[in-house]
Structure 1
Amino acid sequence: MNSMHGGVTVSTIVDFIKGNVNAGSVVADIGCGTGRFTSVIAPIASLVYCVDSNEDAINEARRSIKSSNVVFLNENADSLSIPDHSIDVVLLAFSFHDMDNKESVVNEIKRVIKPGGKVIIIDWVKEKTPMGPPVDIRLSEDDYIKAFKEFKPIQVSRVSQYHYGIVLKVPET
């Protein structure tokens, strides 16, 4: 996949995500938008929850993704209908910076993710770039690590010219 996100090639982003999702995993793509990354994860995972509060985006994802292992949820990230401790991997790709109640979202992720699970974060660098959201709403890598302070960062890297990736590990207990 060599498609674009805001004019930036995302093949390295896709590789980063795929490299952190094990075959047979249950994944929640929270803030999935139209499902760009859900469509990449679905062939690997046993089940993917494609979650977004924007009804038009979820409807577009539903139209474009035909995988039988994808569940589409038009829900807010701070009040998910996903069962407790049922998720192996949470993906937050270009979405968390737009969420209003970040602390509630983190608590909801803690509720749905399994002990030992992973949170994969992809977002824009917190600096002026020729595209992307305003710098003042962007979060730095340190901002994410502080927001998810109970999780252990196991990977932090630049995944493209304007994006970084973070993998956080959920404690086993």
Structure 2
Amino acid sequence: MGYHTFDASRADKLEEAGRRYRFVSAEELLWALSISPEATVADLGSGTGFFTDDVAPHAGEIYAVDLQEEMHEYYREKGVPENVDLVTSDVSDLPFDDGGVDAAFSTMTYHEFASEEALAEIRRVLAPNGRLVIVDWSGTGSGDDGPPVDERYSADEATDALRDVGFAIQHEAVRPETFLVVATLE
């Protein structure tokens, strides 16, 4: 289960607003993050920066974290906002100080990095009362969109994994193809 990485040669698909916003809107993501204008935020699995661009005007600094340098190259060509730093890294080994990130989010990438090590690393870099927002393809979905169902997690699996590493679940919403989880450090 999990560890499906999006094919960077298909990056143009990640810029299709109608498709992307169908599963989570910019407004819903910003509501879930609930950040201040000075916040330091990490977009985990940022890809082409589609959702990073939505959050950037509302944050002080954003780390666009992606494992694939090809995604950062695409983002550079598109144009990176001044307050966004591109970081090529695995989520299980983030190059940030302990407590150095106020909020983190993952849009349709949790299934790519879900592991106890990655969640513990996110916990390490989040500040006290830090917030983590996950929107991902649901293991209970049909599989008509997104990765194959056998590479996905259910909202229950995600919330259990988050609790296991010390997060408290503040909000959970399950939709036909996706789920949204808002978690904070306990």
Q: Which residue in the other structure is 1:128 paired with? A: 142
Write out per-residue CA displacement over residues 36-84 of structure 1, whole angstroms, 9 at most, x where no aligned residue: 1100000000000000001101111233243111010011111111121
Matched, 1:13 2:28: no
2:119 matches 1:106:
yes
User: Structure 1 CA distance, aligned partners of 2:126 and 2:79?
Assistant: 24
Output the TM-score relative to the length of structure 2.
0.82
CA offsets 1:125-171 (integer angstroms, 9 cap, x no match): 2221322111011111111111111111111114x652221100112
Partner of 2:6: none
Q: How many residues align?
A: 167
Which sections of structure 1, spanning at least 5 residues, go unmatched?
Answer: none
Letter in 2 for 1:17: L
Q: Distance in 2 between matches of 1:59 and 1:4?
A: 23
Mind listing any 5+ residue stretches in structure 2 that lack a counterpart? 1-15
8 Å Cα contact 1:96/1:102 also seen in 2: no
Distance (Å, rounded) in 2 between the aligned partners of 1:147 and 1:83: 23
Q: For 1:100-127, what per-residue CA distance to the aligned partner results, in whole angstroms no more than 9, with x for missing partners?
A: x611111110110011011000011222
Hey, what's the Cα distance between the residues in 1 that align with 2:49 and 2:179? 20
In 2 relative to 1, CA 65–21 (structure 1 residues): closer, same or farther, beyond 3 Å?
farther
Decide whether the 8 Å contact of 2:142 with 2:177 is kept in 1: no
Map 1:3-42; keep pairs closer than 5 Å: 3-5=17-19, 9-10=22-23, 12-19=24-31, 20-24=33-37, 25-42=39-56
Give the TM-score taking structure 1 as reference length: 0.88
Work out the CA distance in 1 between the residues paired with 2:54 and 2:161: 27
CA separation in 2, counterparts of 1:52 and 1:106?
16
Percent identity among equivalent residues? 27
Conserved? CA contact 1:21–1:41, under 8 Å? no
Q: 1:137 maps to which residue? A: 151
Alignment of 1:57-136 (within 5 A): 57-99=71-113, 102-126=115-139, 127-136=141-150
Q: Name the counterpart of 2:12.
A: none
What is the rounded CA distance, in whole Å, between the counterparts of 2:110 and 2:137 in structure 1? 11
Higher helix fraction (1 or 2): 2
1:170 matched residue in structure 2: 185
